[in-house]
Amino acid sequence: MTRKRKWPRPPTDDRKLVFALILLTLLLGARVFLAENPQHNPWAPLDLRDERGWATQTKLSGLRGDSQGCRAVLDRSEIAFSALPATGEGQCRRDDRLTLDAVPFAPRFPEMTCPVATGLVLWLEKDVQALAQDILGSSVERVEQLGTYSCRRMYGDADAAWSEHATGNAIDIAGFRLTDGRTVTVLEDWDNGRDEDRFLTAVRDAACDSFGTVLSPDYNAAHADHFHLDQGRSPAMGACR
């Protein structure tokens, strides 16, 4: 009869040491990885020039309602902006107002909150231009927008909640002009089954990574001619369609 040979088990203290060494190696590895990839590091300050990472969206949403922290992100990312003085009253009081001095692929945008500005820069730089190249084989040279600030309730309805536009915390995008002369608009090209439609759907989906709420023609008829992008903090918001 053969007996299975049993390897002697290391003493308990040795096993604890091996476990501690493995843990230490993993922690050091994670630390090096996060230092080299700040976009994945939830504790690293947000820089809009970094690639998108696991922590980007969380860091972006953390800026909502934090105009000081948000402006520090623009400074760090070397995005030039002009701060505007607080103005307005009641539901249309705007403490966080700025204009971006040089937005890529767009003329000067009107005033907006800092979280809208950060979302816009990230969306235009990381998503819109790349998707235009991939799907349309051209570049966006101009973004057509319908406005940011408007002191009103949603849909202009006297009984509705106040719109994020009332504080300039939203922007409406109507379309894009390309360097090859084409113009892609939400009104004309949405759901037309062509490449322009694929591009619009892709940039709408991508906007959900940069904004708290994204509404397109899929949401309702009031958005048949534009994308509504906002950085509202209401838990009822957060729609992406």
* Interface positions with Zn ion (CB under 5 A): 170, 172, 228
Task: Tell me the closest approach of the beta carbon of residue 170 to Zn ion, in angstroms.
Answer: 5
Task: Tell me the closest approach of the beta carbon of residue 156 to Zn ion, in angstroms.
Answer: 11
Task: Tell me the closest approach of the beta carbon of residue 226 to Zn ion, in angstroms.
Answer: 7
Residue nearest to Zn ion (CB): 228
Q: Which residue has the tokens 């520090």?
A: 72
Q: Which two tokens stand for residue 50?
A: 């970094």
Q: How far apart (Å, rounded) are the C-alpha atoms in residues 128 and 126?
A: 7
Q: Which residue has the tokens 């190249």?
A: 133
If you write DSSP's letter for every residue of 78-122 in order, what string do you get?
A: T--EEEE--B--GGG-BS-EEEES--TTSS----B-HHHHHHHHH
Task: Tell me the closest approach of the beta carbon of residue 165 to Zn ion, in angstroms.
Answer: 6
Task: Tell me the closest approach of the beta carbon of residue 93 to Zn ion, in angstroms.
Answer: 19
Nearer to Zn ion, 74 or 170 (CB): 170
Nearer to Zn ion, 46 or 143 (CB): 143
Q: How far apart (Å, rounded) are the C-alpha atoms in residues 171 and 165?
A: 7
Q: Do 214 and 208 form a contact (C-beta atoms < 8 A)?
A: yes
Q: Phi then psi for 190, rounded to 5 degrees?
A: -65, 130
Q: How far apart (Å, rounded) are the C-alpha atoms in residues 78 and 147?
A: 24
Q: Which residue has the tokens 């500005």?
A: 117
Nearer to Zn ion, 84 or 174 (CB): 174
Nearer to Zn ion, 121 or 170 (CB): 170
**b/e map 49-80, b = 16+ CB within 10 Å:** ebebbebbeebbbbbbeebeebbebbeebebe
Nearer to Zn ion, 96 or 172 (CB): 172
Task: Tell me the closest approach of the beta carbon of residue 18 to Zn ion, in angstroms.
Answer: 59
Task: Tell me the closest approach of the beta carbon of residue 154 to Zn ion, in angstroms.
Answer: 9
Check residue 156 and report its DSSP letter.
G
Radius of gyration of the chain (CA): 24
Nearer to Zn ion, 70 or 170 (CB): 170
Nearer to Zn ion, 111 or 172 (CB): 172
Alpha carbon of residue 151 to chain centroid: 24
